Amino acid sequence: MRILHVALGGCLKAPPVEYGITEDTGGHIAYVLGAAMAQARDPRVRSVDIVTRAFGDPALDPVHADPVQSVAPGCTIRRLVTHDMRYLSKESLQAHLPALSRAFCDLLRGMAERPDIIHAHFADAAVLARAAQAEFGIEWTYTPHSLALQKAGAADCPQLQDRIRAERAAVAGAGAIIVSSRDEAERQLLPYGADSEGRTHRINPGVSLDRDRGPGAARDLIAPFLRDAAKPILLAIARPVRKKNLGALVDAYAASPALQDRANLVIVAGLRHGINAGPEEQAGVIRDLFDRVDRYGLWGKVALPARHDGAQIRSLYALAAEGGVFVNPALHEPFGLTLIEAAQAGVPVVATCDGGPVDILQQLEAGMLVDPTNPQDIAAACLQMLDHPRRDWLAQKARHKARAAFNWDRWAAASIQVYAGLRPIRSRQDGPVMRILASDIDGTLTGCVQSAGRFGAWHEMRPRGLMFAVATGRSAPEARRVLREWQLPEPDLFITSVGSEIWRRDGQGGLTLCGDYADHLSGDWDRDAVTATLQGTGIAWQPHYEQRRWKLSLFGDAGDATAVTRALADAGLAAHVIASHGRFIDVLPVRAGKAAALRFEAERHGLSLAQCITAGDSGNDRDMLIASGASILPANAFDELAGITGVGIFRSRDRHAAGVLDGLARLGLTVTPKPKVQHA
């Protein structure tokens, strides 16, 4: 496979990159380089090109004018040369896109072997990808990195109209959209067209930290600013732009004498030449930071280094690991790569509750979320992290999790799978559907790598006329991610969000929401009123991205579920309340649920639930397990399913997918696996 990335903004070059040297030289460059280098290491990949813009500027590295630069074996930067060779900010690139598109198509025309896939970073690069698709028919994927419409009111902001239009076109045109966080996949992208979710894949990115050489370099960097340099540090690293909200961190620090007593504050905000140089926003942010430190009389406790390189950043993390904390107070953070860097370096994190950090911290099982508009909240969380009795243990745990979950080699493997899925695929399910197997995912198909693999082999050989559906509590992008991670087969049909959505394959690697089912559910569903009633119960909500159009989700046990049911009945509201896993409560339209969705699908094929086989392990599977003609419970099924009995119900002694296969065998649905063909 030949892969080509396009990323036009900022100073993209082979490492070392001077992050922060211009406003647009930020995290997306680390992403593109980390991604491309890891893909180039994958044996299935023949070459990876990164296309960016050529420019010459006396203040910037002359390499940016070179048309070709090697990054690593098999990984090359190619720069598009146009008549305008000035450095251009992301905003002013717009006017140059026609010339860049022409240069890009010229480049492709001249290639002996053109790429199989183009991966566009930001909406401006998508314009080039679209031009290449029109001329050469090359499929493309899109990573937005940041989206204008995530901000309330952005749709009405005249300055943002061009950007929003470009983002809409990118979302609509891309074969697949690859993002990093659930917030992006399940919230930020939705205003661009709810169907985008069916083409969205969440893949954890990696981080590329320099080698750890200890805290010495960091101490040298910050010592000139500090009176007592031996104290632990509160570390923030962010570009000097307003939305990073660094001023609030100074406010928080100023408001808490206890915090000042415990730690020094270190803010690394880009690279600067004095406090007046640089773009207007950057200079404004820097002046504002100096002004706050001055007004609050914090000199001697706050370090604001003017310049840094990758080695010093790594060293700052090493220093923060010694009793300190990393803080990201952004008003909104699309993802939050620095949090993972910090976690991988063993630094506890405090982060904004707006955006990507919510699910990053959930995956790290550590750290604290704060309201970025509330300095007291930020200060309290920092103090709590500094003095946490199990600080080191938590940091170690987060470090292991961060290293396992966020690495570029895993990202590369997943991205290649997504690219490969963009080729038109003919479903094996082309004849009439005679039976449907609907299986839950978590705990039922996942849980044991070997038997998940055996299930995959079974699936490949499954009898004709048998449709395979998954029925899960997860959203469509999360369901696909888990299937991918477990190397489980993509089903013919996705019943997601506890049977409140049905997604069908579009034959191009994407999924389409079933509008008929959506209409069928919407009738009796007063989402706002149900939300208000649930609010009134005081039971804790699951994170915002779990709240969907036809599913509202809380944390709580069966007792809480009963209270919810009562509250809804008292309010005269119709809803289907489902308790599962001993800790989740889902509230759906009355006509929704896994059984309801499966019945809806079965009827489309002239079948009834009696002709369906189901498999599941928890309370949210109960209705389909009871209603279907045959059902399979693996040995690991939750106790909450202990009460269900019936002739068609089979409880296997095997766990997870092995239990499902056992049940299928008893139904006569065994297959002899083909000998595995090894592909070179």
Question: Pick from ligand GLC, Mg ion, none: which does 186 bind, CB < 5 to 8 A by kind?
Answer: none
Q: What residues from 430 to 489 belong to the interface with ligand GLC (CB under 6 A)?
A: 473-474
In degrees, rounded to 5, the angle at the alpha carbon of residue 469 between the alpha carbons of residues 468 and 472 is 145
- Is residue 584 part of the contact set for ligand GLC (CB under 6 A)? yes
315 or 618: whose CB is closer to Mg ion? 618
Question: Pick from Mg ion, ligand GLC, none: which does 124 bind, CB < 5 to 8 A by kind?
Answer: none
143 or 580: whose CB is closer to Mg ion? 580
Tokens of 210: 């320099």
What is the size of the binding site for ligand GLC (CB under 6 A)?
Answer: 10
Q: Which of 542, 562, 565, 611 binds ligand GLC (CB under 6 A)?
A: 542
Question: Pick from ligand GLC, Mg ion, none: which does 133 bind, CB < 5 to 8 A by kind?
Answer: none
Q: What residues from 1 to 30 belong to the interface with ligand GLC (CB under 6 A)?
A: none
**Cβ(219)–Cβ(319) below 8 Å:** yes
Look-up of token digits 């005081």: 538
Written as one letter, the residue type at 618 is S
558 or 610: whose CB is closer to ligand GLC? 558
Question: Pick from ligand GLC, Mg ion, none: which does 620 bind, CB < 5 to 8 A by kind?
Answer: ligand GLC
Q: Which of 164, 498, 514, 592 binds ligand GLC (CB under 6 A)?
A: 498
3-state secondary structure of 249: helix
> Is the preceding omega at residue 463 within 30 degrees of 0, hence cis?
no
- Is residue 531 part of the contact set for ligand GLC (CB under 6 A)? no
Q: What residues from 617 to 676 belong to the interface with ligand GLC (CB under 6 A)?
A: 620
Nearest to 612 by CA among 638, 630, 593, 632: 630
Which of the stretches 16-24, 33-41, 514-522, 578-586 binds ligand GLC when contact is defined by CB under 6 A?
578-586
CB of 442 to ligand GLC, least distance (A): 7
Task: List the x/- string, 242-271, binding to ligand GLC by CB under 6 A.
Answer: ------------------------------
Question: Pick from Mg ion, ligand GLC, none: which does 141 bind, CB < 5 to 8 A by kind?
Answer: none
- Give dist(CA 326, CA 402) in Å, integer: 15
**Cβ(285)–Cβ(272) below 8 Å:** no
- Give dist(CA 156, CA 348) in Å, integer: 38
CB of 556 to ligand GLC, least distance (A): 10
69 or 542: whose CB is closer to ligand GLC? 542
In degrees, rounded to 5, the angle at the alpha carbon of residue 232 between the alpha carbons of residues 230 and 238 is 120
Neighbouring C-beta atoms of residue 257, cutoff 10 Å = 10
Q: Which residues bind Mg ion (CB under 5 A)?
A: 440, 442-443, 617-618
Strands, E assignment, 519-676: 552-555, 576-580, 584-588, 612-615, 630-633, 649-651
Question: Pick from Mg ion, ligand GLC, none: which does 638 bind, CB < 5 to 8 A by kind?
Answer: none
CB of 144 to Mg ion, least distance (A): 31
CB of 548 to ligand GLC, least distance (A): 8
CB of 338 to ligand GLC, least distance (A): 27
287: CB partners within 8 A, 6+ apart? 275, 276
Question: Pick from Mg ion, ligand GLC, none: which does 440 bind, CB < 5 to 8 A by kind?
Answer: Mg ion
- Give dist(CA 595, CA 598) in Å, integer: 5
Question: Pick from ligand GLC, Mg ion, none: which does 640 bind, CB < 5 to 8 A by kind?
Answer: none
CB of 499 to ligand GLC, least distance (A): 9
- Is residue 553 part of the contact set for ligand GLC (CB under 6 A)? yes
Tokens of 42: 């994958």
Sign of CA dihedral 224, 228, 232, 236: negative
Residue nearest ligand GLC by beta-carbon distance: 473
DSSP states along 194-215: GGGGGGEEE------PPP---S
Question: Pick from ligand GLC, Mg ion, none: which does 560 bind, CB < 5 to 8 A by kind?
Answer: none
Which of the stretches 93-101, 144-152, 309-317, 579-587 binds ligand GLC when contact is defined by CB under 6 A?
579-587
CB of 448 to Mg ion, least distance (A): 13
- Give dist(CA 289, CA 236) in Å, integer: 13
Look-up of token digits 């103090």: 383
Question: Pick from ligand GLC, Mg ion, none: which does 542 bind, CB < 5 to 8 A by kind?
Answer: ligand GLC
What are φ and ψ of residue 497, in 5° steps?
Answer: 50, 55
Nearest to 123 by CA among 7, 26, 16, 3: 7
CB of 36 to ligand GLC, least distance (A): 32
What are φ and ψ of residue 49, in 5° steps?
Answer: -110, 145
- Give dist(CA 332, CA 343) in Å, integer: 20
* Helix pair 246-255, 375-386: axis angle to 10 deg: 70
CB of 521 to Mg ion, least distance (A): 22
576 or 591: whose CB is closer to ligand GLC? 576
Nearest to 27 by CA among 336, 245, 307: 336
Binding site for ligand GLC (CB under 6 A): 473-474, 498, 542, 546, 553, 580, 584, 586, 620
